[in-house]
Amino acid sequence: MSQLTQPTTDEVVSRYVDVWSEPDPQARRAAIVGLWAADGAEFVEGIQFRGHEELDARISHAYDEFVGSGRFALGRADDVTRHGDVVSFTVQLLVPGGDVAWSARVFLLLDDDGTIREDYHLTIQPLAA
């Protein structure tokens, strides 16, 4: 079981949110490698992305479509919770002006070294069509 302290938990969450807004592909890739285990996976909308290559492609595509396009900024609610190796919080896509356009509850299952083994997104507020 991971023995991370709360400040480290907050750091993991901050780094997680930041990676989705990182414009530099090399910095984004380095952040992915630093956050996820080599065989770490994200599960979202019935799709699985496993390993650094798939995660890099997934996060790069999401960045280009949502943040890099200027349509949204990525933020988080002030609701980080932790139980053992599971960290949970809400991520949000914000329109200019700060209104929430989409949100999801994220559950991270961490390895003993604090890297992400599994990452689950459960949509709370769908993005309007």
Q: pLDDT (tens digit, 9 = 90+) per residue, 95-115?
A: 999 999 999 999 999 998 889
> pLDDT class for 6, splitting at 50, 70, 90?
very low
Q: Number of folded domains in the chain?
A: 1
- Domain-located, residue 97: yes
Of 58, 75, 74, 76, whose CA–CA distance to 66 is shortest?
74
- Centroid of chain to Cα 25: 16
Please state whether beta strands 100-110 and 116-125 pair in parallel, antiparallel, or not at all (unpaired): antiparallel
Is the pLDDT confidence value at 23 over 80?
yes
- Domain-located, residue 33: yes
User: Mean pLDDT across the chain, nearest whole number?
Assistant: 93
| CA distance linking residue 15 with residue 18, whole number of Å | 5
| CA distance linking residue 59 with residue 112, whole number of Å | 24
- The domain spanning residue 115 has which CATH number? 3.10.450.50
Is the pLDDT confidence value at 18 over 50?
yes
- Domain-located, residue 42: yes
Is the pLDDT confidence value at 121 over 90?
yes
Res 44: pLDDT: 95
Res 113: pLDDT: 86
Range of the domain at 39: 6-125
The answer to whether 110 and 41 are in contact (CB under 8 A) is no
| CA distance linking residue 55 with residue 83, whole number of Å | 25
- Domain-located, residue 1: no
